[in-house]
């Protein structure tokens, strides 16, 4: 191995090369940057595990923005203090990035349910765009890159689940089950009716219900009633897509007792085995993914156009019982004619 001093000329040339490399690298990276800035706003920056938040996603394109000719999905990751992903809200941006134009702002809202995860504390939210096909590189955007082209857009604080209104399943619920293609998604079937009780805060509450059902398993369009006491909402379930309902319930409808009962009542149910689908003999009604109840005053702003108010429900239709025609006193029925 040869050792010794490096000549002055060689040293200057080497230093010049080192100096030139970062400059070239910066120019090359700058040319690859898509003139897009991602941003995130939420109706409350402190939320409990198991609760729901309302998020507004915004994508702003600058004057140097160049048309995106491939399909990209938005990824949103919620990271703990060690940059480990706790949960995500990956989705298709609206409108699709392929339709974006320079100098525009694209915003839309989504409801995000925070899973029950063994972590409380500060959370960093990162966003970006990744190929919809799952193959290829993420786009280079403007902003603070935390690595892997994940751009920091916000911070939040997660609190323990004990801060929530506690729900107790009382009757009409089957065991929880995982989605086969995504074990992290857990849902639960009800019977024709599922009953839940919760500690009455004696204040206005907002109920979040995310669910679906097998509409083709019913002879007619199924109808679901969500009720607390004599107030609630009734609506048909038109298809088998997952739906989200946000129902505001007044304190007066919760009553004065320490506990309030919540009922999810279908107008009909089905048994898969009876329909020849499989050997499942359970009576099934609605399949619940998320059910959350929170005090309105603590939830921040929730878009009014997404909320329905519970209203007095009509009394159940009386059951008509067929009766025989009464026989008048003193009148004997005519004997049946012989053939």
Q: Which residue has the tokens 């010794």?
A: 4
Q: List, run by run, the mean pLDDT of 10-residue segments along the chain (339 residues).
A: 38 38 40 90 97 98 96 97 95 97 98 94 98 94 96 98 95 94 90 97 97 97 96 97 98 96 98 97 98 96 94 75 47 46
Contact indicator for 54, 301 with CB cutoff of 8 Å: yes
CATH architecture of 32-161: Sandwich (2.60)
Q: How far apart are CA 30 and CA 271, in angstroms?
A: 60
CATH number of 165-312: 2.60.120
Q: How many CB atoms lie within 10 A of CB 112?
A: 18
**162-211 tens-digit pLDDT:** 999 999 999 999 999 998 888 888 999 999 999 999 999 999 999 999 99
What SS3 state is found at 177?
A: strand
Which residues fall within 8 angstroms of residue 62, CB to CB, at 6 or more apart? 35, 36, 37, 102, 103, 142
Question: pTM for the complete prediction?
Answer: 0.83
Q: How many helices (H) and strands (E) does the chain have?
A: 2, 19
Question: Can you give the residue ranges of every domain in the chain?
Answer: 32-161, 165-312
């Amino acid at each position: 191995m040869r050792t010794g001093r490096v000549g002055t000329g060689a040293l200057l040339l080497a230093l010049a090369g080192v100096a030139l490399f970062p400059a070239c690298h910066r120019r090359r990276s700058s040319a690859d940057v898509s003139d897009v800035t991602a941003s995130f706003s939420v109706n409350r920056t402190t939320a409990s595990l198991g609760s729901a938040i309302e998020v507004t996603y915004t994508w702003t394109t600058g004057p140097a923005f160049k048309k995106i000719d491939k399909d990209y999905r938005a990824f949103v990751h919620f990271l703990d203090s060690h940059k480990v992903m706790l949960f995500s809200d990956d989705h298709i941006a609206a409108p699709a990035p392929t339709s974006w134009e320079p100098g525009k702002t694209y915003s839309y809202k989504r409801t995000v349910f925070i899973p029950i995860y063994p972590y409380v504390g500060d959370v960093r939210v990162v966003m970006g765009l990744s190929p919809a096909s799952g193959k290829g590189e993420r786009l280079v955007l403007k902003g603070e890159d935390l690595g892997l082209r994940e751009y920091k857009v916000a911070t939040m604080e997660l609190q323990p689940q004990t801060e929530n209104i506690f729900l107790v399943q009382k009757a009409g619920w089957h065991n929880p089950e995982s989605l086969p293609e995504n074990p992290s998604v857990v849902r639960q079937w009800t019977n024709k009716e599922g009953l839940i009780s919760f500690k009455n805060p004696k204040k206005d509450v907002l109920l979040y219900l995310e669910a679906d059902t097998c509409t083709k398993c019913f002879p007619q369009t199924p109808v679901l009633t969500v009720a607390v006491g004599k107030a609630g909402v009734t609506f048909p379930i038109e298809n088998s897509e997952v739906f989200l309902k946000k129902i505001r319930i007044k304190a007066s409808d919760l009553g004065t007792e320490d506990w309030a009962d919540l009922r999810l009542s279908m107008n009909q149910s089905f048994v898969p085995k009876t329909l020849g689908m499989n050997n499942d003999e359970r009576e099934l009604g609605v399949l619940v993914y998320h059910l959350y109840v929170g005090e309105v005053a603590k939830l921040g702003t929730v878009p009014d156009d997404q909320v329905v108010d519970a209203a007095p429900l009509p009394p159940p239709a009386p059951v008509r019982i067929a009766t025989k025609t009464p026989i008048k006193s003193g009148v004997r029925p005519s004997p049946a004619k012989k053939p």
